[in-house]
């Protein structure tokens, strides 16, 4: 009986390893979140109020901003799937010994800070930027510079540029585990190249598309820097939250909007969990 105590203590020890991380998370993540949540429902006289949420969910301005935020993220996600899938397919099935180089090229941009990458787009498309310089001065195709920055298209392009590697890696990971002999089986059984892809490869890589899409959607939904620098005219929740804090100084409203963003993110995570669970079954 005496031997059992130390063994039990030993078995408990692994839990100790996560205590520092747990404390860190509680102090710097959970508590601020709780504080944020409380702030969003705190009235001026210290009473509870749901008025801010009522405004957010009924006022046409806020609904339009939320809708635009989700629409922008969905658009970016869709473009990432369309651009990312072929790259992932090439990476896994065709790149062969060049796969390492392709992965490096994919990841390399992530090593630069997002602000630098966004300024890169500025340099390209500014009023006196590379593109306008080329068109006006070098080629003389047009007489006056085009207004290229501060347009939604450039903001979307910059977001896709930042997020497409996540999509490629998510799809490639799943595609890697799809046995190419499954495609060959389909071909032998009479399916042409596209049919085999449509019937076998695509359905089996759906999990990768799902994971990548949720990841990209969530990051795009919370993106701020890119839109501040490039996104002329687009009004999204993160931008509005920034304004509420810095300009209007309505902390309560900003907190409520943060909660709405958080709910969307949690919903996405829930979708992803369901996806993973279905795959495991």
Partner 1 sequence: MSVQDRPAAEVLSLRGVRKAYGPVLAVDDLDLTVEAGALVALLGPSGCGKTTTLRMVAGFETPDTGSIRIGEREVAALPPHRRNLGMVFQNYSLFPHRTVAENIGFGLRMAGVARAERDRRVEEMLDLIRLPGRGDMYPSQLSGGQQQRVALGRSLIVNPKVLLLDEPLGALDKALRESMQFEVRAMQQRLGITTLLVTHDQEEALSMADRVAVMNRGRILQIGSPNDIYDRPQSRFVAEFLGTSNIFEGRVSPDGTALLVPGGNGDVAVPLEAPAAAGQPLLLSVRPERMRLGANRGEGANFEGRITGAVFRGNYAAYQLDVPALGRELFVYRQADGPLGTVSFGLGEVLTLGWTPRDAVPVSAE
- How many other C-beta atoms can be found within 10 angstroms of the C-beta atom of residue 39? 17
How far is Cα 151 from Cα 22, in angstroms, rounded to an integer?
A: 43
How far is Cα 219 from Cα 65, in angstroms, rounded to an integer?
A: 17
- Residue 135 or 182 with smaller CB distance to partner 1: 182
Q: Which two tokens stand for residue 265?
A: 């993110």
Q: Which two tokens stand for residue 89?
A: 């397919």
Total residues interacting with partner 1, rule: CB under 8 A:
19
DSSP state of 37: H
Which candidate, 232, 238, 229, 222, places its Cα nearest to that of 119? 229
Examine residue 30 and tell whether it contacts partner 1 (CB under 8 A): no
Examine residue 250 and tell whether it contacts partner 1 (CB under 8 A): no
- Residue 113 or 185 with smaller CB distance to partner 1: 185
Helix (H, G, I), strand (E, B) or coil at 136: helix
DSSP H helical ranges for 27-107: 31-41, 51-58, 60-89, 99-107
Examine residue 93 and tell whether it contacts partner 1 (CB under 8 A): no
Please answer whether residues 180 and 193 qualify as being in contact, where contact means their C-beta atoms are separated by less than 8 angstroms: no
Examine residue 94 and tell whether it contacts partner 1 (CB under 8 A): no
Nearest distance, CB of residue 273 and partner 1, angstroms: 20
- Residue 63 or 189 with smaller CB distance to partner 1: 189
Name which of residues 203 to 232 contact partner 1 (CB under 8 A): 203-204
How far is Cα 237 from Cα 196, in angstroms, rounded to an integer?
A: 42
Nearest distance, CB of residue 197 and partner 1, angstroms: 12
Q: What does the per-residue mask of binding to partner 1 show for 163-202, with x meaning CB under 8 A?
A: ----------------x-xx-xxxxxxxxxx-xx--xx--
Nearest distance, CB of residue 276 and partner 1, angstroms: 16
Nearest distance, CB of residue 204 and partner 1, angstroms: 6
Examine residue 274 and tell whether it contacts partner 1 (CB under 8 A): no
Examine residue 280 and tell whether it contacts partner 1 (CB under 8 A): no
Residues of the shown chain interacting with partner 1 in the complex, contacts defined by CB under 8 A: 179, 181-182, 184-193, 195-196, 199-200, 203-204
């Amino acid at each position: 009986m005496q031997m059992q105590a130390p063994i039990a203590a030993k078995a408990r020890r692994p839990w100790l390893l996560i205590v520092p991380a747990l404390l860190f998370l509680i102090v710097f993540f959970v508590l601020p979140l709780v504080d944020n949540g409380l702030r969003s429902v705190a009235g001026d006289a210290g009473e509870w109020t749901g008025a801010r949420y009522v405004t957010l969910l009924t006022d046409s301005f806020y609904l339009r901003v939320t809708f635009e935020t989700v629409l922008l993220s969905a658009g970016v996600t869709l473009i990432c799937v369309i651009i990312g899938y072929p790259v992932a397919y090439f990476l896994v099935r065709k790149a062969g010994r060049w796969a390492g180089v392709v992965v490096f090229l994919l990841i390399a941009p992530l090593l630069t800070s997002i602000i630098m990458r966004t300024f890169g787009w500025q340099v390209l498309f500014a009023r006196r930027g590379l593109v306008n310089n080329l068109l006006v001065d070098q080629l003389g195709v047009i007489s006056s510079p085009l207004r290229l920055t501060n347009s939604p298209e450039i903001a979307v392009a910059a977001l896709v540029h930042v997020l497409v590697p996540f999509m490629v890696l998510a799809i490639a990971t799943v595609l890697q585990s799809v046995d190419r002999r499954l495609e060959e089986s389909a071909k032998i059984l009479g399916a042409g190249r596209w049919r085999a892809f449509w019937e076998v490869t695509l359905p089996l890589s759906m999990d990768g598309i799902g994971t990548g899409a949720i990841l990209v959607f969530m990051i795009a939904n919370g993106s701020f820097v890119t839109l501040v620098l490039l996104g002329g005219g687009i009004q999204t929740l993160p931008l509005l939250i920034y304004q509420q804090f810095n300009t209007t100084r309505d902390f309560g409203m900003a907190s409520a909007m943060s909660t709405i963003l958080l709910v969307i993110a949690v919903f996405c995570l829930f979708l992803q969990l369901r996806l993973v669970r279905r795959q495991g079954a």
